[in-house]
């Protein structure tokens, strides 16, 4: 019987922390004391908006799917109330 | 009775007395549709990110109200007919956050 070659995944040993190592990615909103998403909190929301005022995708900001949906609705509400701009990033 | 957060954008052209008159009739509208205002906040005159009805600034009013859910439709219809109120937004929330809100903290 052909012995199936078990792929031994390269286990990431902690000692070798080279900069190109895959860093542990975590969602900034689902930690213990992470801030709550609110359409009035313009300073927090504008951190997740690009220079042209577009929402940055969650694959770049590591935000979890549920929190990204809350973030998107909060940003759209802030835009409707013109607290945030549609086309540029206003600090 | 559901809890709502209401944000009103009032046009900057009107005088202070008329501004208070607008708020009174908003509260009367609330009262006769059996709603009540939990607390109010005034974010003051802020400049808009984009011009609405070619106004560059607007008075922001923030209310935390408790009202029956189906009253909201005719309430927003009345606000829509009003020319002095540029925009309004009702958001249903589970529980009211305590004041002051984030926008006020930035000011100080």
pLDDT of residue A80: 94
By C-alpha distance, the chain B residue nearest A53 is: B49
Confidence of residue A30 (pLDDT cuts 50, 70, 90): confident
A42 to B49: CB separation less than 8 angstroms, yes or no: no
Is residue B102 predicted with pLDDT exceeding 80?
no
CATH number at residue B81: 3.30.70.60
pTM of the model: 0.82
**CA B47 distance to own-chain centroid:** 16
By C-alpha distance, the chain A residue nearest B87 is: A81
B1: tokens are: 């009775």
Is residue B98 less than 8 Å (CB to CB) from chain A? no
pLDDT of residue B99: 77
What's the total number of domains in chain B?
1
Whether the Cβ atoms of residue B66 and residue B33 lie closer than 8 Å to each other? no
Q: Each residue of B54-79: pLDDT tens digit? A: 889 999 999 999 998 888 888 888 88
Dihedral in degrees, nearest 10, Cα atoms B34, B36, B42, B46:
-30
Is residue B106 less than 8 Å (CB to CB) from chain A? yes
Select from B93, B96, B102, B104 the residue whose CB has the most chain A CBs within 10 Å, as the one to mutate to test that interface.
B102
Q: Each residue of A43-75: pLDDT tens digit? A: 899 999 999 999 999 999 999 999 999 999 999
Residues of A in Cβ contact (< 8 Å) with B7? 81
pLDDT of residue B96: 87
pLDDT of residue A52: 93
- The shortest C-alpha distance from A34 to chain B (Å) reads 15
> What is the extent of the structural domain holding B65?
2-105
Specify the residue for token string 């009805």.
B53
**CA A22 distance to own-chain centroid:** 16
Q: Each residue of A73-87: pLDDT tens digit? A: 999 999 999 999 999
- Residues 6 or more apart whose Cβ sits within 8 Å of residue B61: B7, B8, B10, B23, B40, B41, B42, B43
φ, ψ dihedrals at B65, nearest 5°? -125, 165
Q: What is the average per-residue pLDDT within B30-57?
A: 88
B102 to A40: CB separation less than 8 angstroms, yes or no: yes
Burial string for B28-46 (b: 16+ CB within 10 Å, else e) reads ebbeeeebebeeebebeeb
Q: What is the average per-residue pLDDT within B83-99?
A: 88
Whether the Cβ atoms of residue B53 and residue B86 lie closer than 8 Å to each other? yes
Between A and B, how many CB-CB pairs are < 8 A? Answer: 41
**C-alpha gyration radius of chain A:** 19
């Amino acid at each position: 019987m052909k012995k199936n070659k078990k792929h031994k995944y390269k286990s990431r040993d902690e000692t070798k922390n080279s900069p190109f190592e895959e860093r542990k990615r975590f969602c900034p909103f689902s930690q213990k004391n992470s801030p709550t998403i609110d359409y009035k909190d313009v300073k927090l929301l504008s951190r997740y908006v690009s220079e042209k005022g577009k929402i940055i995708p969650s694959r770049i900001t590591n935000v979890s799917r549920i929190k990204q949906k809350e973030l998107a609705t909060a940003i759209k509400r802030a835009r409707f109330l013109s607290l945030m701009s549609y086309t540029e990033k206003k600090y | 009775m559901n809890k709502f957060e209401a944000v009103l954008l009032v046009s900057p052209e009107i005088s202070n007395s008329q501004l208070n008159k607008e708020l009174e009739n908003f509260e009367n509208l609330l009262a006769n549709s059996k709603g009540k205002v939990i607390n109010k906040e005034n974010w003051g005159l802020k400049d808009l990110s984009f011009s609405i009805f070619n106004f560059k600034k607007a008075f922001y009013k923030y209310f935390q109200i408790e009202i029956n859910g189906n009253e909201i439709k005719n309430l927003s219809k009345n606000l829509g007919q009003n020319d002095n109120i540029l925009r309004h937004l009702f958001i249903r929330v589970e529980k009211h956050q305590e004041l002051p809100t984030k926008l006020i903290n930035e000011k100080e």
